[in-house]
Amino acid sequence: MVGSAYRKTGKRVVLVPLGRDIHAGHLALVQAARRVRGGVVVVAVEPDTDIAALKDVDVVWRYGAQSQRTRILAPDRGMEDVSAELTRIVALTCALGSSDVVMGEKDYELLVATQQAFTDLNIGARVQGVPPVRMPDGVVMSLRNAGVDPAAREQASALSAALTAGAYAAESGAEEVVRVAREVLDAAGVEPEYVELRGRDLQEPPAEGEARLFVAATIGGVRLTDNAGVPLGIGFKNLDQQE
């Protein structure tokens, strides 16, 4: 197997699990993987993926879309169900014997669930999160988001605007963060499926410290999700004082 062959040489095996239709967000994950010292970058893609855009990759692994008899159930936190994708990533990681797995923070719930699964199952791989690539209007780069009708783009951009506004209200506490985010969505005529503020581990947010703001809404017939970090109870202008 590719992973064991490289590990015998003392190299780190860095897995970048992707799907189909490579875009700029995926390329950012590959670049982050390339920065792992002494790492061999292995990109896992579905068999029919066009890989022409992939650069600086050591190995492209076209994994089979075979059904999994075993399914890892991620905790139900009332937002996204990531169990199927979590099962896929754990299976790929174990099959490859990865030392590192690079994932996008766009799917933050999946990122956290993956790290927790690795810990619980004693899988010795490290999860590294990479900030999402955004289009000029603030919408996160993804296959799903690219499918939003041009007439609905302004509403779609309201999600990132709501996250930004909410994050900048961090100094005033959790309730104000959520209120401000909802206010921005309401002004844009967006009815959110949820606006949630959680701790870094997706539990209750701290009174002061790092938190995460999540939003989901269906716009132009496409269900969109987004999230952003929030220095809760601190505020961006006071971050230097916390270091």
Q: What pLDDT band is residue 242 in, cutting at 50, 70 and 90?
A: low
**Phi first, then psi: what are they for 166, rounded to 5°?**
-65, -45
Contact call for residues 49 and 19 (beta carbons, < 8 A): yes
Q: With 90 as the cut, is the pLDDT of residue 157 above it?
A: yes
- Pick the catalytic residue from 26, 106, 198, 212: 26
Q: What is the pLDDT of residues 109-128, one digit of tens each?
A: 999 999 999 999 999 999 99
Domains of the chain: 2-130 (3.40.50.620), 143-232 (3.30.1300.10)
Task: Tell which residue, 149, 160, 151, 208, has the closest CA to residue 184.
Answer: 160
Q: What is the pLDDT of residues 31-77, one digit of tens each?
A: 999 999 988 999 999 888 999 999 889 999 998 766 678 889 998 99
Task: Tell which residue, 236, 31, 60, 241, has the closest CA to residue 133.
Answer: 31
Active site includes 23?
no
Mean pLDDT lowest among 44-53, 83-92, 103-112, 214-223: 44-53
**Phi first, then psi: what are they for 64, rounded to 5°?**
-75, 145
Q: With 90 as the cut, is the pLDDT of residue 4 above it?
A: no
Contact call for residues 128 and 44 (beta carbons, < 8 A): no
Which has more pLDDT, 118 or 8?
A: 118
